[in-house]
Amino acid sequence: MIIELIAYPVALLIQLTPTRENAGRPASFAKARRSSTSSVMKLRTTRPEYDPTDRINAMTNIQAHAAKGEVLTGLLYVNPDSEDLHAHLNTFPTAFNTLGAKELCPGSGMLEKINAGLR
C-alpha cells in the first residue's frame, strides 16, 4: 500500500504498517487524524492508477501538492533500472548473525594484515 501523508500546518513524519484491518478498504481512501499538537493529518492512499516508476509524474505530483500546502511522503518514485543495493555495495550474501565464529574471525594472521593496511 502506498500512502500519501498530508500534514497541516507542519510536516509530520509517521510510519504506517499495513494490517489486516486494511484488507477490506477500497483501493483509494482518505482519513483525517488530529495529532497531539492539534495539527490535522490527512492520510490518503494513492490512486490505483498512480505509477511510481514515472519520474515526471512523481515530481509533478509533489509540486502540485506543495502548491496546496501539502507534503507527500512514502513511496513516491522507484527507478526501475536501479541496481540492487547489495550488488552495488558488494555486501556478503549471508547475514552475519547466521554465521559462526569460524566464518566471522579471519584469524590472527589476516587480522595483522588488515591492521597493517590501516596504518
Encode pLDDT of 93-114 as tens digits: 888 899 998 888 889 999 999 9
Beta-bridged to residue 41, according to DSSP, are 7, 33
Report which of 56, 83, 58 is spatially closest to residue 72, judged by C-alpha positions. Answer: 58
Q: Note the pLDDT tens digit of each residue in 31-48.
A: 777 777 877 777 777 777
Tell me the sheet residues that pair with 34.
Answer: 40
Q: Alpha-carbon distance 1 to 27, whole Å?
A: 9
Q: SS3 for 27-81, per residue?
A: CCCEEEEECCCCCEEEEEECCCCCCCCCHHHHHHHHHHHHHCCCCCCCCCCCCCC
* 48 prior amide bond cis, ω within 30: no
